[in-house]
Amino acid sequence: MQGKAIAHPNIALIKYWGKRDIDRNLPAVGSISITLSELHTRMHVEFDKALATDVLTVNDEPDERMLPRLSVCLDNVAGVDRPRARIASSCNFPIAAGLASSASSFAALTVAAAGAAGKSFDTAHLTSLAGQASGSAARSLLGGFVELENVGEGIACHSLCGADDWPLRVVVAITESGPKPVGSTEAMEISRRTSPFYANWVDQQAQDLDTARAAIANRDFETLAAIAEHNCLKMHSIMWASRPPMVYWNAATMRCLQTVRQLQGQGVGVFFTIDAGPQVKAVCLPEYASEVEAAMRATTGVVDIMTTGLGDGARLERQE
Ligand code: 2P0
């Protein structure tokens, strides 16, 4: 009755922002992401009939905050009549700070819970379960470049390119390690309801996805860089124009963008992307990784740097 799984966060190059069905947590738009290798979340789920409630530890400390969402995910995977569970999560990067910790957490939890419940679901079903818990988590089921599509009444994910087939590097510049002021789920809803740019965003997404998909197939870094930066800035423009406005950036976020622009001016193959937080991810061709890392590290306000390659999808490590 126990399962242990590992999953890596993913960074969207073409972003998911907004839902078409809140109750079923279905995204309004498709997205394309890269799964990272060095950052990870491990989830250990142990069902125990003697427990009265689910209990959670995060990095060995009791933690109640995420428990309600994790419990619902366990219900969806193992059934509402399941025994209560001991959930132990460990994460090697800052949580809830715009580094996609919910993606790796819910992908790992879905796989661990299915293992603990003795269910052998296929990837399509695991994708749908993880996506119900957190939209971006569905993409962490797979490795390398991953596309999430809206298909009928649900979602489907497929791999566009393996992690080793285009081994880009990602330099993550941490500019602040505290949790973000507004969670993504709430921020997406505020955007959908109030931003004058939201409808355009939804309308244009298919075109951005087509451009990125073709760039990945052709290993065309320049085209991917241009469309990823455009899509990222569009997403943030929606948030800035929402009521209340949501600005996740800080001064160092902007300085990192300037660093990337300077590197690009010197011919370095790099582009930026930013999620619902102040961290900047600089995606680069492997030959430029140390140059990009040094430049980001030297940027005023950057408090930490993590460099990673592209990694594999979520997997079960132990099942008993
Ligand atoms: C993404 N983000 O595509 C976008 C870009 C953040 C910015 O998916 O409400 O935690 O749980 O489905 O997946 C973060 O949102 O949201 C996210 P829910 P999730 O990566």
314 belongs to a structural domain? no
Which residue puts its alpha carbon closest to atom 8 of ligand 1?
Answer: 136
Continuous segment of H or E residues that includes residue 58: strand 55-58
> In this structure, is residue 131 part of a structural domain?
yes
CB 316 within 8 A of CB 3: yes
Residue 108 lies in a domain: yes
177 CA from centroid of ligand 1 (Å): 18
Instruction: Say whether both 193 and 293 belong to one domain.
Output: yes
Q: Is 50 domain-assigned? A: yes
Query: How high is the pLDDT of residue 97?
Result: 58
Over its length of 320 residues, how does the chain's per-residue pLDDT go in tens digits?
Answer: 899 999 999 999 999 999 999 999 999 999 999 999 999 999 999 999 999 999 999 999 999 888 999 999 999 999 999 999 999 999 998 775 566 678 999 999 999 999 999 999 999 999 999 999 999 999 999 999 999 999 999 999 999 999 999 999 999 999 987 777 888 899 999 999 999 999 999 999 999 999 999 999 999 999 999 999 999 999 999 999 999 999 999 999 999 999 999 999 999 999 999 999 999 999 999 999 999 999 999 999 999 999 999 999 999 998 88
pTM (2 d.p.) = 0.96
Token pair of 175, please?
Answer: 């500019």
Domain with residue 136: its CATH number is: 3.30.230.10
Q: Are residues 151 and 191 both part of a single domain?
A: no
What atom of ligand 1 comes closest to residue 14's alpha carbon? 3
Both 147 and 183 in one domain: the answer is no
Closest ligand 1 atom to residue 15 Cα is 3
Assess contact for 57 and 88: CB atoms under 8 A.
yes
Whether residues 89 and 153 share a domain: the answer is yes
Task: Give the span between the Cα atoms of 287 and 291, in whole angstroms.
Answer: 9
As a whole number of angstroms, the distance between CA 111 and CA 21 comes to 24
248 and 286 part of one domain: yes
93 and 178 belong to one structural domain: no
Number of the ligand 1 atom closest to the C-alpha atom of 98: 6
Three-state SS at 230:
helix
Say if residue 174 is in the same domain as residue 296: yes
- 140 and 238 in a common domain: no
| Residue 319, in any domain of the structure | no
**Ligand 1 centroid – CA 56 distance (Å):** 22
Same domain, 200 and 262: yes
Tell which of 164, 185, 200 closes a domain. Answer: 164
CB-defined site of ligand 1, < 6 Å: 12, 15-17, 25, 31, 102, 134-136, 184-185, 275-276
Domain of 254 in residue numbering reads as 169-308
Answer yes or no: is 63 within a domain.
yes
What is the total count of domains within the chain? Answer: 2
Q: Could you say which of 141, 164, 187 is where a domain stops?
A: 164
Judgement on whether residues 127 and 200 belong to the same structural domain of the protein: no
Domain boundary pick from 164, 198, 217: 164
CATH number of the domain that residue 186 is part of: 3.30.70.890
Ligand 1 centroid, distance to 12 Cα (angstroms)? 9
Helix (H, G, I), strand (E, B) or coil at 10: strand
- Give kind and range of the element (H or E) at residue 43: strand 41-47
**How many angstroms separate the CA atoms of 101 and 212, rounded?**
24
Ligand 1 nearest atom to the CA of residue 11, by list position: 20
- Taking the CA atoms of 121, 67, 185 and 314 in sequence, report the sign of the dihedral they define: negative
- Rounded to the nearest 5°, which phi and psi values hold at 129? -65, -45
Question: 67 in a domain, yes or no?
Answer: yes
Question: Looking at the domain assignment, is residue 313 inside a domain?
Answer: no
At a CB cut-off of 8 Å and minimum separation 6, what does 144 contact?
34, 35, 159, 160, 161, 162, 163, 164, 165, 166, 310, 312
CB-based contact 194:242 (threshold 8 Å): yes
Please state, as a whole number, how many other Cβ atoms lie within 10 Å of the Cβ of residue 132.
Answer: 22
DSSP-based three-state secondary structure for 56: strand
Instruction: Name the residue of 24, 101, 136, 188 whose CB sits within 8 Å of the most ligand 1 atoms, as the mutation to test its pocket.
Output: 136
Pocket test for ligand 1, best of 11, 134, 192, 242 (most atoms within 8 A of CB): 134
Asked if 110 contacts 77 with a C-beta cutoff of 8 angstroms, the reply is: yes
237 and 156 co-located in one domain? no
Report angle CA 75, 186, 103 to the nearest 5 degrees: 55
Q: Say if residues 105 and 91 touch (Cβ distance below 8 Å).
A: yes
Residues 148, 8: one domain? yes
